[in-house]
Amino acid sequence: DARVTQTPRHKVTEMGQEVTMRCQPILGHNTVFWYRQTMMQGLELLAYFRNRAPLDDSGMPKDRFSAEMPDATLATLKIQPSEPRDSAVYFCASAFTGGWTEAFFGQGTRLTVV
């Protein structure tokens, strides 16, 4: 059963610490997305990659967030330094774009910065 795998599921960290979230997209999918879910903003697109190339990271605070895709099986989202306002659920999703397809989501990482 193909699925998007995200780690960790939960993360509690102190303000100022570095946080790294990882995502393994579905094999064969060529596009990977990072979304942030908050009560007020719904699902915000932070960044996405197509064929491992970053296409859009305009939704990401550049000074503290970075997203990379070192290979086709791994995408990472880093926050350094973390702040309490970063507390949210972070989702990774993958899709095969270029055809008719929906995005498949991982189970998300619930991040709490104290």
Residues engaged in binding another protein (CB under 8 A): 31, 33, 35, 41-43, 45, 48, 50, 55-56, 89, 91, 93, 95, 97-100, 102-103, 105, 107-108, 110
Cβ contact 75:51 at 8 Å: no
* Through-space distance between the first and last CA atoms of the chain, rounded to whole angstroms: 36
Q: Which is nearer to another protein, 72 or 81 (CB)?
A: 72
Omega cis (within 30) before 8: yes
Q: Which is nearer to another protein, 17 or 105 (CB)?
A: 105
| Tokens of residue 110, six digits | 């619930």
CB of 81 to another protein, least distance (A): 26
Cβ contact 34:57 at 8 Å: no
CB of 101 to another protein, least distance (A): 9
